Amino acid sequence: MTVRLDYTNMMADVVGEEHGLRDVEIAGLAPTVAEIHADLHARRKQGMLPFFDLPFREEMMAECQQLGDEFAERFDNLLVLGIGGSALGTTALFRALVPLQHNLLTEKQRSRPRLFVADNVDPAGFSELLNFLDPNKTGVCVISKSGTTVETSCQFMVVQAWMRKAVGNDWRDHFVLVTDPAKGALRPLATRESIRALAIPDGVGGRFSVLTPVGLMPLATVGVPLQRLMAGARSMAERATRPELETNPAYLNAVLQFLAYQKGLHISVMMPYSDRLRDVADWYRQLWAESLGKKFSIDGETVHVGPTPVKALGTTDQHSQVQLYMEGPHDKVVTFLTVDDFGEDVGIPPFPEAGDLDYLIGQSMADLIKSEQRATALALCKNGRPNCALRLSTVSPESLGELIYLFEVQTLCAGGLFRVDPLDQPGVEEGKLLTYGLMKRPGFEEKRAEVEDWEGGVNLRQL
Amino acid sequence: MTVRLDYTNMMADVVGEEHGLRDVEIAGLAPTVAEIHADLHARRKQGMLPFFDLPFREEMMAECQQLGDEFAERFDNLLVLGIGGSALGTTALFRALVPLQHNLLTEKQRSRPRLFVADNVDPAGFSELLNFLDPNKTGVCVISKSGTTVETSCQFMVVQAWMRKAVGNDWRDHFVLVTDPAKGALRPLATRESIRALAIPDGVGGRFSVLTPVGLMPLATVGVPLQRLMAGARSMAERATRPELETNPAYLNAVLQFLAYQKGLHISVMMPYSDRLRDVADWYRQLWAESLGKKFSIDGETVHVGPTPVKALGTTDQHSQVQLYMEGPHDKVVTFLTVDDFGEDVGIPPFPEAGDLDYLIGQSMADLIKSEQRATALALCKNGRPNCALRLSTVSPESLGELIYLFEVQTLCAGGLFRVDPLDQPGVEEGKLLTYGLMKRPGFEEKRAEVEDWEGGVNLRQL
């Protein structure tokens, strides 16, 4: 066990009655959580929630490891084409588990390829990236379950031509497609063109897919030890599938966040005190926002519910956001991610005539960053602001595996508490259809007309 | 003029009465804005708001250009030590105005040094960075007005020893200190040790300092044309100092945001549809949060006010956050940053048996990213969600100069509307004192005892 949930500072006896929680409130949700648990595990048994069992799929992992090793052997760059759930987990774990300067090292200094996750369709950014990369030395991992995600499709079409121009018919050998096992647009392409493909297991949605080939293939390529990552996830699987609220950290954290929301704390800040954990907050942001931000409850009521996740970084954002967190509206709950042992430390050396800074000499950066986190937590408490911490003993494949599994189960449980479907995202459909219209996809002419009529009809206000 | 404020979709006739604004509400604030204007410009005349006049300080700019050119000549890396306002503006403009792959290019491919902004005290991250950099080829820019910012001080002490170990007494020639013109801890050090120093003009706070040597020295070093940046700022200075609400985009945008807040839209999302503009949202996040997030009004009332700025990126976050923005609580106002001309474009080439994707062929990435922004804006409107856009004709030094100046004036005006002091940040003081205590700074023993007593006294809850 390398991840602990510390919720001391969420409680009314610490932060005050107005926004703090009481034990009785937490306990009061135990029956609801028991129902949610029963429902989740009934659905799991029916094969409807396969994400629960991903850490146990040795074959899937081995397949990713093998292909990742092969790509690492053959290429100097891995270019991932994917967006949202197809990109965020990889980015988060790459930053956490591979040296931060990895991409800047020479081929000799690092034994594994550089990683580039292209998760946008900015023409300037994308063309600059392609100009930079040598296609001969680049493997490409295209990730889309449906194969029709418009951004990824567009990227794929561009990159395929770019690659073919450089290596001719060998272009296929530079690609792997991560997609649906049977359906979608990429699977038949893979079959027809004999392009290697890895399957995203049925029933695993994008934001729950980091422990499938979506994340595992790129991470294996850059050298993340998948075995250790999965071992961490399995370790949390034991804790996060316990039926009782009081022994299950995923359920407990869901309850804490839910109760905070009920008290008007609609903004959920995740604030790692660790450079490596910075992008975990971005991955979590999708998981939490898309899963819980809903118009309708499962009972069909209009609820317009959902906490807004916000990413911050300690100590950096103490100099940017913490003023607001301390003094602004009582609408936030802060979750710190802390690290007990950073692995390396930096001593603060003597400094000529240091004067006012003399006190720092002989201490270390770890002392400082930990002190700042403790100070910030206490200052928040003194201002009546609930906060909690997920404490990692180290930043390791194991602890990241634990954290991912924890957050995924927590999110499902929170879906039950908020009474929304945490697995759908109906609110993005309309934007997709309107985009199809503007991009002249056949059958969407009406959508195009709708945008044009709208834009032509409004009273334009510009300055 | 390269930046336009488009607020069509903020209005009730477009997004509905419940959260949309009416012309009469905007006009109703004109007298208040006139008062704010009079007050700001009276204080400007008294020399109390020198940030207004930064774009006109040719000498300051020339000094930064000269030193930047010299550093670029002598070094292959520029390491900036600074945090918050000493880092965010540089990071934003570096990303916007220097090729995105700059740091990955070889010394030959780029004519200017790489830039590393170290804005944290993570021991693992920091030691990895120093292991990567060759001190012989590295110039260091230490930025702290007071010279006692604990993170920057700590970094400076470490980097000074690291440099001295490599180059001996020449270490001084590798440094420039950007600090107070007369006071603080760094100024006497600069004098005593004959280290070059640049002055942050009196009265310019950290989050308003990007157009001082704080931003200008690093940006000159990496090749940002300061003349063009400042010309852009001057062009906006003309527009953003007009007294009338209806002709001043900074005042108008402040009013729009203020009115949205009054209607319960307490979260202000900034969503650039541009890779290059991504970190502008981070810089703005500090400006907006620290300036407006306040416990007390200027009248001494307890108000706990302040919008929470949130950073998003289009199209990327359509696959992460937009579900929540469309369907979640009515508590957000979205500001898009859009680009008319990306400079480069990427055509979508033919694809063998493209099938469903056939419609994309012959169009471009610029078509796609622009269509997605229009589609997202309309979908928000259809869901009754106010949104506006700042439209840049191009991403250029001029447009970024305009944008910075616009946001700074907007923030001061918003301070007047919210009736808070936008120039202070009293809420971070307590955390600083507690940190001093934990780091054993003499005179702060009581603060250390306070933390230890607190931590020892609470009912620890962990799972």
Which residues does A159 contact at the CB level (< 8 Å), separation at least 6? Answer: A79, A81, A130, A140, A142
* Chain A residues 382-401 with a CB less than 8 Å from chain B: 382-383, 395
Q: What is the mean pLDDT of chain A?
A: 97
- Report which of B137, B24, B150, B5 is spatially closest to residue B440, judged by C-alpha positions: B150
Ramachandran class of A79: left when φ > 0, alpha when ψ lies in -120 to 50, beta otherwise: beta
The model's confidence at residue A39, banded by pLDDT at 50, 70 and 90, is very high
Q: Considering CB atoms only, which of B122, B289, B375 is closest to A438?
A: B375
pLDDT of residue B289: 98
- Who among B84, B328, B455 is closest to A319 (CB)? B84
3-state DSSP assignment of residue A318: helix
Find all residues with CB under 8 Å of B408, minimum gap 6, and list them.
Answer: B51, B208, B287
List beta partners, residue A334.
A269, A387
Q: Is the pLDDT of residue B443 over 90?
A: yes
Determine the pLDDT at residue B1.
66
Shortest distance between the Cα of A229 and any Cα of chain B, in A, equals 20
The whole-angstrom distance between A133's CA and the closest CA on chain B is: 10
DSSP SS3 for B212: coil
pLDDT in tens, B346-387: 999 998 777 788 999 999 999 999 999 999 999 999 999 999
Chain A nearest-CA distance from B422, in A, is 12
Contact B324 A352 (CB under 8 A): no
Sign (positive/negative) of CA torsion B11, B12, B15, B18?
A: positive
- What pLDDT, in 10s, does the model give residues B250-264? 999 999 999 999 999
pTM, two decimal places: 0.97
Report d(CA A296, CA A418) in Å as an integer: 10
Those residues with Cβ within 8 angstroms of residue A433's Cβ, 6 or more apart along the chain or in another chain:
A444, A447, B375
Given CB atoms, is B106 within the 8 Å cutoff of chain A?
Answer: no
Q: What is the pLDDT of residues A400-430, one digit of tens each?
A: 999 999 999 999 999 999 999 999 999 999 9
Is the pLDDT confidence value at B240 over 70? yes
Q: Are B89 and B209 in contact (CB under 8 A)?
A: yes
Structure tokens at B55: 């774009």
A39 to chain B, closest Cα gap in Å? 24
- From chain B, the residues in CB contact with A273 under 8 A are 122
Q: Which domains does chain A have, with CATH numbers?
A: 3-43+229-418 (3.40.50.10490), 51-224 (3.40.50.10490)
A166 touches chain B (CB under 8 A): no
Q: Confirm if B39 and B188 have CB atoms less than 8 A apart.
A: no
pLDDT value of residue B355: 78
Please answer yes or no on whether B318 and A428 come within 8 Å at the CB atom. Answer: yes
How many other C-beta atoms are found inside a 10 Å radius of the C-beta of residue B412? Answer: 25
Residue-level pLDDT at A1:
66
Query: What pLDDT digit, counting tens, does each position of B111-163 carry?
Result: 999 999 999 999 999 999 999 999 999 999 999 999 989 999 999 999 999 99
Work out the minimum CA distance from A409 to partner chain B, whole angstroms: 15
Interface membership of A355 toward B (CB under 8 Å) = yes
pLDDT single digits (tens) B55-90 = 999 999 999 999 999 999 999 999 999 999 999 999
Name the residue among A85, A123, A308 with its Cβ closest to that of B365: A123
Which tokens belong to B247?
Answer: 């002709």
Closest CA in chain A for residue B428 = A323
Are A454 and B378 an interchain contact pair (Cβ–Cβ within 8 Å)? yes
B249 closest CB neighbour out of A6, A273, A463: A463
What are the phi and psi torsion angles at A283 (to 5°)? Answer: -65, -45
Q: Tell me the mean pLDDT in the region A52-61.
A: 97
- Cα B405 from chain centre: 11
CB contact under 8 Å between A289 and B321, yes or no, is yes
Chain A residues touching residue B11 (CB < 8 angstroms): 459, 461
Tell me the pLDDT tens digit for each residue of B161-210: 999 999 999 999 999 999 999 998 899 999 999 999 999 999 999 999 99
Helix (H) or strand (E) holding A111: none
pLDDT exceeds cutoff 90 at A241:
yes
Residue-wise pLDDT for A338-376, tens only, equals 999 999 999 999 987 777 889 999 999 999 999 999 999
The chain-wide mean pLDDT, for chain B, equals: 97
Q: How far apart are CA A134 and CA B430, in angstroms?
A: 52
* B121, B256, B337, best to mutate vs chain A, most A CBs in 10 Å: B121
> Does the structure show a pLDDT above 70 at A380?
yes
Q: What was the pLDDT predicted at A352?
A: 78
* Percent of chain A with pLDDT strictly greater than 90: 96
Verify whether the Cβ–Cβ distance B185 to A355 is below 8 Å: yes
CA-nearest residue to A358 within chain B is B441
Selected residue with higher pLDDT from A208 and A357: A208
pLDDT of residue A263: 97
Q: How many angstroms separate the CA atoms of A422 and A268, rounded?
A: 17
- Is B315 within 8 Å of A121 when comparing Cβ atoms? yes
Residue the block writes with tokens 């020479």: A106
- Cα separation, A294 vs A297, whole angstroms: 7
pLDDT of residue B353: 74
- The shortest C-alpha distance from B361 to chain A (Å) reads 9
Q: Which two tokens stand for residue A276?
A: 């490596």
Mean local confidence (pLDDT), B13-35: 98
| Lowest mean pLDDT, pick from A23-32, A185-194, A301-310, B230-239 | A185-194
Contacts of A267 in chain B (CB under 8 A): 267, 308
Q: In terms of Cα–Cα distance, which of A100, A120, A405, A123 is closest to A278?
A: A100
* Chain A residues touching B338 at Cβ < 8 A: none
CA B419 → CA B44, B287, B297, B299, distances in Å? Answer: 18, 16, 5, 8
Among A85, A158, A310, select the one facing B308 at the smallest CB separation. Answer: A310
Task: Answer yes or no: do A459 and B119 touch at CB < 8 A.
Answer: no
Asked if the C-beta of B376 comes within 8 angstroms of chain A's C-beta atoms, the answer is: yes
Q: Residue B438: list chain A partners with CB under 8 A.
A: 371, 374-375
Whether residues B293 and A369 touch (CB distance < 8 A) is answered with no
Please report the pLDDT score of residue A357 as a whole number. 87
- The residue from A151, A290, A402, A408 that is catalytic is A290
pLDDT tens for each residue of A438-459: 999 999 999 999 999 999 999 9
